Amino acid sequence: MRHLLRLLLCGALALLPLAARAVEVSVVNASKPTRCAEEDNVYVKLQSDGVRRFTVTARHPPYLGAVTVDSAAADFTHCAISGAKDYPFTPRSVTLFEDGEWRLMGHTYGGFWTPYVVPVRVGARVESGLHLLQLIRRHKGEWIELLVLYPADGYWRTKPLPPDHLPDTAYGSSFLFGPIVERERPLVVIDAVEYVPATRTFRLAFAEGGGTGTLRLAGFDTSEVTLAVALERTIAPDRPFAALRSMFVTPGNADVIEAAFIAGDGRRGIPAGILDFARERAAEVSFGRRWPSRHNLSAPDLIFGAFGR
């Protein structure tokens, strides 16, 4: 009898991967070529019928162990300066939270490309008009940024803690989540932001498209950082619920070189050049670099996955 039960259990376990097939999303490429390394010409949209949660993981590139001298300087070669003027603001910096291990800083620039003034709440404190929020962790006696949000256009960047042989690493690709709208560039219009220090969670109220969303720092170390993202409302399948923004000029001058896809049944596709695919279906998609680039050399790869309805 015990042998029969064991065989039945093994048979049931063998069927689990089929029953638990991961949720797939559409990966839609709206990127275009550029010669300017400071232009976000990479725009890859994630679309789906009903996805309301997912994760974003930033992982050090595979070659980082061999990097001894970083490269993160701006490169405006072949860049045409736009005639558009930023909206003026009064510059300032504020500390919104600090407890000895964590710090949340806010900064207002002298000018920004959108006019939006977004209130940011931490506890009872509210500050408006901040263009950059920096979540910073104390690590080996130094303050290291792990995550930034630009409240006035909804762009996020994240990176792991640095490896032992480097003092810090660079940001590279950005991402958006929520009801994305497309104007001079894609953005998410945010009505308000709240940061909850106890859970390291950002709560967003969306001004265009409505609803709310949360982003929680779920895990971090010196190899990767994981963010858990949730949306209150589903977004129509013909509109992105999240997107990658990055740059690619050549394989040696890019923040992202290729995309790799994993299907819902676990099958891995052949990686595609970041400008070389139009549309794919995937339960996980990673955007990264297998070889060094002179632009933001130490910047991490980004992986989107764990999609759920």
Burial environment of residue 242 by CB neighbours within 10 A (0 to 12, 13 to 18, 19 or more): buried
Residue 254 clears pLDDT 80, i.e. is over it:
yes
CB 140: neighbour CB atoms within 10 A?
A: 10
b/e code 63-101 from CB counts within 10 Å (16+ = b): ebeebeebeeeebeeeeeeeeeeeeebeeeeeebbeeee
Amino acid found at 227? L
Q: Output the CA–CA distances (angstroms, integers) from residue 164 to 65, 101, 143, 148, in the order listed.
A: 10, 19, 15, 22
Sequence-ordered list of residues with C-beta below 8 angstroms from that of 174, at least 6 positions apart, any chain:
40, 155, 156, 157, 244, 245, 246
pLDDT at 76: 86
- pLDDT-based confidence at residue 5 (cuts at 50, 70, 90): very low
Average pLDDT taken over every residue of the chain: 92
Q: Where do the structural domains in the chain lie, given as residue ranges?
A: 22-71+85-242+249-262+277-308
Q: What is the pLDDT of residue 16?
A: 39
Query: How many H-runs (helices) and E-runs (strands) does the chain carry?
Result: 1, 27
Q: What is the pLDDT of residue 83?
A: 59
Q: Which structure tokens are listed for 125?
A: 């404190």
Residue 281 has pLDDT above 60, yes or no: yes
Tokens of 25: 């999303």
* Strand ranges in 123-239 using DSSP code E only, listed in sequence order: 125-128, 132-139, 142-150, 155-158, 174-177, 181-182, 186-187, 190-196, 201-206, 212-220, 224-231
d(CA 169, CA 296): 9
**Could you tell me the pLDDT band of residue 209, with boundaries at 50, 70 and 90?**
confident
Is residue 28 scored above 70 in pLDDT?
yes
**Confidence band, pLDDT 50/70/90 cuts, at residue 137:** very high
Q: What is the pLDDT of residue 10?
A: 40
DSSP 8-state assignment for residue 210: -
**Range 267-271 average pLDDT:** 95
Tokens of 2: 């015990």
pLDDT, position 17: 46
Q: Are strands 92-98 and 87-88 parallel, antiparallel or unpaired?
A: unpaired
Say which residue the tokens 């890859």 belong to: 44
Joined tokens for residue 128 = 């408006």
Which residue(s) pair with 82 in the sheet? none
